[in-house]
Structure formats: C-alpha cells, structure tokens
Structure 1
Amino acid sequence: MLVSDIMKKNLITLGPDSPIYVALELLHKHHIRHIPIVDESNQVIGIVSDRDVRDASPSIFASNQSKDLDNAIKTIMSTPVVAIHPLDFVEEIASIFYEEEFACLPVVQDNKLVGIVTEKDMLQTLIQLTGTHVQGSQIEIKVPDQIGMLPQVTKVVGQRRINITSVLVYPYTSDPKYRVIVFRVQTMNPLPIVNDLKDKGFDVLWPQELEKSNEL
C-alpha cells in the first residue's frame, strides 16, 4: 500500500506570518490536530500542532492574551520538517512514526505539499492490513523458517473455499528457526480449517481452545 492511497489531500495550511489565533480557529473549526506551514511556493517549512497552539496560548488569567495570540505562527512551528513521498510504502513509513514519535508527516512531491498522513491514518491502515475490520476468524500456524511454507499453508486453507482477508508473517520469539503465519479468514467457524491443517502436520497455535472444547 502506498502513501498516496491513505494521505489526506484536502489540506488546511497557513503561511509563516499568519497569527496564532488563526491557527487556533482553524484547528477548532475543522476538528484537526496539525496544520502544515508553507511558503508562497507551497513548500513545507514547518508544522504546528494543537498542542503548540495551546502551549502558546496564555492562561485565562493573563492580561495580554490577545497580544500573544497575535504573534506569528512561525514563532511556534516545528522545523525542520521530515516529509514523505506519495510513492513511499505505508509499511515503511510506519517505522518513522514509531522511531521519531511523530503525530503526522507531510507528503511532498516535487518540493510541493500534496498531502498529509496522521497517526490515525496509520492506525486505520493497520486495521485494514490485518483484516480485523472484516468479520471472521484468526488462525495462527507455527512453521519452519523455510522457503515455500506460505503456499503450502494457503493451499490447505484454499481447499475449503473460504476467503482469506489478510496474511501476516512474523518471527516466532521462542525459536528463530520458526515463523508464525497469521491468517484472517472470512468464517466464524474455523474448526474445519484448523483440523485440515493439523491433519497435514502443521502446528496450530491459535485457536487452541477449539480442540479442547471439542474433546469435552
């Protein structure tokens, strides 16, 4: 999945000389948390968050409230800005959010602002990639870390003619010689698939309680 598939394109931006109170009004009006700051060429030169604006706003007990909010937005914007490209892979930019602890990333193409991706966008994408937005069941299989294991497992699942909504593969933490394949399948009764996998010699990690309840 590409950044262009999830980025927001209808952007609210401000120039560096705009007063802080305008940013405050826009954040409230459009229910957003970040505003890219751009120059006259639409190049990103900063980012302002709702927290930046709140920190810059004086206490209700202060006498110079209006004066402080008249200050230029460039006095509180975060700069320099880390930007991403529309053709970057979403899975790769996730590491930027995690490692840098950013709440949003502007999307730039040919040095021009074309979009923005937020933490919420990333979380929604993760839900889609894992298939948890579709009603179904999850099956986890422990397999040797060898070439060809994934098609072997999908062949068994496919024989039941049940739709696979997502497939994830991650390391088996107890032993690096193994991997865990996680399937989301579009059925509320995964027991037939689980039994097929076990009959083929696969080590099913989840669901295990189905086997126990079946024995009772």
Structure 2
Amino acid sequence: MLVEEIMNKDVVTLKPDHSIKEALELLNEHHIKHIPIVNDQYSVVGIISDRDIRDAAPSTLEKQKNQAILDHNIESIMTSPVITVHPLDFIEEIASIFYEHEIACVPVTKDNRLVGVVTEKDLLYTLIQLTGIHEQSSQIEVKVPNKAGMLPAITKIFGERKINISSVFIYPFKDDHSQKIIVLRIQTMNPMPLIDELKDKGYEVLWPNIPGLSQ
C-alpha cells in the first residue's frame, strides 16, 4: 500500500512567523497534535507538535511569563530540518521511519511541496485494516520450514475447502531462521476441521492449539 492511499490531504499549516499561541489554538481547534510549517512556496521548513509547545511554555502558575513565551514565533521552537516522505513510498517504510526516529507524524511532499501528512495513528489504523481483524474471522498460525513453496502448499488446503483468506503474515520463528510462522486470518468461525486437516498433513499448528485434535 502506498502513502498516498492513507495520507491526510487536508493539512493545517502555519508559517515560521506565526506565534506559538496561534499554533496552540489551531492544535486545540482541529484536535491534532502536529502542524507542518511551510514557506511561501509551500515547502516544508519545519514542524511543531503539542509537545514542543508544552516543553517551551513554563508552568501555568507563571501566567505573565507564560504569555510572553506564547507570543514568540513558532520558528523559535519548531523542529527543522524535517523528515518527509513521498506519496509513492510504501507504508512499510513509514513504519520504519516512525520507529527509527521516534516520531509520530511525517509530512508528505511532492516536487518539494507539501501534499499531505501521515500520523502514527493513520498508520496503525491502516495496519489493523490490513490484518483483517476488523472482520468476523478466525486466526491460524502454522510453523513451517523456511523454504520455497510452503505458503502455496498451505493456502492450497484452504482453497480446496473454499475458505476465503482475509490476510497473510509471515515472520521468523523466534531466533530459528530455519523456521517461519505463517499467520492466516480466514473467514470462518469454525476453523477446527481445517486445523485437523493441517495436522493430519504433518503441519504444526501453533494457534489455536486445541486439545483433542489430530497430532
């Protein structure tokens, strides 16, 4: 899936000479946590978050000093330079950026102009949709050797039973690179006959591990 499919195109922006107070008002008004800062060409020159404002402003007990800080330009506290992504980047790359740089929002730019934003919440929602967990379904986890042909062999069994697969994920088994876990979410509320058949064919079903089924 591409960034352009999940990005928010209706972006609230400010310029560097706007005040911290204006940024705070926009954050509260739109119920958002980040505002890209752009120049006259609509290029991203910085980004500000609600945390940046909290860190900059002193205690509310110091009301007069607090007001003076809020009158400063946001340029004084914005993060710059800014990590950006392209609309045709893959969402997996966004997840890696969020994790490695410990950020929760990235502006999306094309031809050096802001065209959208993606937040950590947007990405999490999309990943939930991709897992198929929002649909009525069952999950099966099968441990297989890490070699070619295992996924087609497993899915063939599902196809023969005419069971629709909502999603498939594959990840390594612990620290054993010779094994993989295939996680399938399927559109049936009674996976027991399928689990029984998988075990009869010699596959190790890790989940659900239901007592009484064939070993």
Which residue of 2 is the match for residue 142 of structure 1? 143
Q: Distance in 2 between matches of 1:50 and 1:213?
A: 54
Structure-2 change in CA distance of 1:171 and 1:152 (3 Å): same
- Residues 43-82 of structure 1 show CA distances to partners (whole Å, capped at 9, x for unaligned) of 0010100011122223222223322211001001001101
Say whether the 8 Å CA contact 2:195–2:205 is kept in structure 1: yes
Say whether the 8 Å CA contact 2:166–2:187 is kept in structure 1: yes
SS for the counterpart of 2:126 is helix
Which residue of 1 is the match for residue 97 of structure 2? 96
Q: Distance in 2 between matches of 1:202 and 1:55?
A: 54
> What is the CA distance between 1:205 and its match in structure 2?
1.0
In the TM superposition, what are the counterparts of 1:54-203 in structure 2 within 5 Å? Answer: 54-62=54-62, 63-203=64-204
Q: Distance in 2 between matches of 1:78 and 1:3?
A: 22
- Alignment TM-score, normalising by the size of structure 1: 0.94
- Residues 15-35 of structure 1 show CA distances to partners (whole Å, capped at 9, x for unaligned) of 000011100100000000000
In the TM superposition, what are the counterparts of 1:16-35 in structure 2 within 5 Å? Answer: 16-35=16-35
Structure-2 change in CA distance of 1:175 and 1:68 (3 Å): closer
Amino acid at match of 1:180: I
Q: How many equivalent pairs are there?
A: 213
> What is the CA distance between 1:111 and its match in structure 2?
0.3
SS for the counterpart of 2:176 is coil
Q: Distance in 2 between matches of 1:142 and 1:64?
A: 61
Q: Distance in 2 between matches of 1:60 and 1:139?
A: 53
Say whether the 8 Å CA contact 2:143–2:203 is kept in structure 1: yes
Q: Distance in 1 between matches of 2:102 and 2:135?
A: 29
SS for the counterpart of 2:157 is helix
Question: What percentage of residue pairs aligned between the two structures are identical?
Answer: 58
Q: Distance in 1 between matches of 2:65 and 2:101?
A: 35
Q: Which runs of 5 or more structure 1 residues have no equivalent in the other structure?
A: none
Q: Distance in 2 between matches of 1:56 and 1:12?
A: 21
Say whether the 8 Å CA contact 2:14–2:35 is kept in structure 1: yes
> What is the CA distance between 1:214 and its match in structure 2?
5.6
**1:48 equivalent in alignment to 2:57:** no
Amino acid at match of 1:105: V
Q: Distance in 2 between matches of 1:31 and 1:121?
A: 14
> What is the CA distance between 1:159 and its match in structure 2?
1.6
Q: Which runs of 5 or more structure 2 residues have no equivalent in the other structure?
A: none
Which residue of 2 is the match for residue 3 of structure 1? 3
Q: Alpha carbon RMSD of aligned pairs, Å?
A: 1.3
**1:12 equivalent in alignment to 2:30:** no
SS for the counterpart of 1:140 is strand
